[in-house]
Structure 1
């Protein structure tokens, strides 16, 4: 199976990547995203509605559409293993608040001796055994992108320790969760929320770790790239919802 990961290559070269978060089972929409020229698709298994086989089909479609399939995993301890075994080229792990939690993410995403990812040569990621063995495991460890979500005040306080964990590729700011967890349910643009986000950018830059965050308008995408983010997804359902609403006068 192809393990070349253009998102990880872009991160190494400090080039931006733009993608789409999708929480509904829609392989044809994944193909559309690929045709539109996006770099990656986030298959949202935290808030989404996927069965195991549906997630695998979404990953398969992404790879066939020249998209890097990244799974935003749920809170089950086996979710990282399952996403990667099905062929995901990256994982996003929500609600990482401490160094210890970040270490555990790497442990579950990487093969020994780096981590403790379970070894099974007959997985789809290993081409059902046709691409198994040391070379596959080494390439997997090298090419998988590991992303942790920063979306609580505790995570912001611990940001330096989190991004210093070897094996973490990117700190993803979840502005909606961060805003709510800081006590500001009215929106993501509260000054205190922006102050916390700026602190994450600052500490990540100091520690040579890339930052990503969501943006749903062209203006916000451009602003976020200028701010220094290298990984920006738009939310598919929000783009679709706005498109429908803009067509009628209600």
Structure 2
């Protein structure tokens, strides 16, 4: 049996994925053929109906990509993503221990949490998986990642990551920068110090760190810093490739 993303993270394996915020099963297939380990379907900033979310998850599984969903702020978002078959969730804007505890409550079945139980949905193979075995497997295998992307979250890092059931701290550098008062990006020294502090705390506490990478250089830097779960931005990759192509053809015309 192939290892889950959660198992790979627990083993300290380096894995890479892609944020996808537009509905396109074809792009999911491209990511799988390219060799990524997982995709993050972006339901926070992206535009998906629940049916489209399910089709993206289904396509990821067909191409051997682990489907992770960055959930929205809708109270039902975690439940809907997991019932559709997501193998993990990323939850934005977690700033306190209490926030993290609420995530676990929504993501885990009783007795760990209070996720609603049903067996008629896709995650339970439409009723073929039921009872204790399904509940325990879901609670054990689903990846639960929380976004550390506010000044408050940095201050509360130890308490947040001490909540049982949280598997990974995802560093959101853009939101962190804005939260700290720097709207032009995370390059300011104070923001960089906060980022370094998160990596330092993660290493000290043996907490896996994930982050977003806008380009190849940023991905390599994140890995050097200590991130083992690095996510590229799909639309940026595509837009940059288009721009590069146009620039090269314009140069050849001169």
Same fold at TM > 0.5: yes
* Alignment match, 2:39: 41
* Alignment match, 2:226: 228
TM-aligned CA deviation for residue 89 of structure 1: 0.4
* Alignment match, 1:170: 168
TM-aligned CA deviation for residue 216 of structure 1: 2.4
SS at match of 1:111: coil
Question: What is the distance in 1 between the residues matched to 2:81 and 2:38?
Answer: 15
* Alignment match, 1:148: 146
* Alignment match, 2:159: 161
- From the two aligned structures, give the one with the greater helix fraction: 2
Question: What is the distance in 2 between the residues matched to 1:240 and 1:71?
Answer: 20
Gaps of 5+ in 2: none
* Alignment match, 1:84: 82
Larger Rg: 2
Identify the match of residue 55 of structure 2 among 40, 54, 57.
Answer: 57
* Alignment match, 1:243: 241
Question: What is the distance in 2 between the residues matched to 1:76 and 1:120?
Answer: 20
Question: What is the distance in 2 between the residues matched to 1:132 and 1:209?
Answer: 32
Aligned length: 248
Contact 1:5 1:144 in 2 (8 A): no
Deviations 1:57-81 (CA, angstroms, capped at 9, x unpaired): 0000011110110000000111101
SS at match of 1:149: strand
Name the TM-score, length of structure 2 as normaliser.
0.95
TM-aligned CA deviation for residue 169 of structure 1: 0.4
Question: What is the distance in 2 between the residues matched to 1:15 and 1:74?
Answer: 28
Contact 2:4 2:141 in 1 (8 A): no
Question: What is the distance in 1 between the residues matched to 2:73 and 2:3?
Answer: 25
SS at match of 2:120: coil
Runs of 4+ in 1 over 3 A off after TM superposition: none
Contact 1:6 1:39 in 2 (8 A): no
Question: What is the distance in 1 between the residues matched to 2:197 and 2:245?
Answer: 39
Contact 1:86 1:125 in 2 (8 A): yes
- Cα gap change, 1:5/1:116 in structure 2, threshold over 3 Å: closer, same or farther? farther
Deviations 1:165-218 (CA, angstroms, capped at 9, x unpaired): 111000001011111111111122111111111111111222221000011222
Question: What is the distance in 1 between the residues matched to 2:34 and 2:129?
Answer: 31
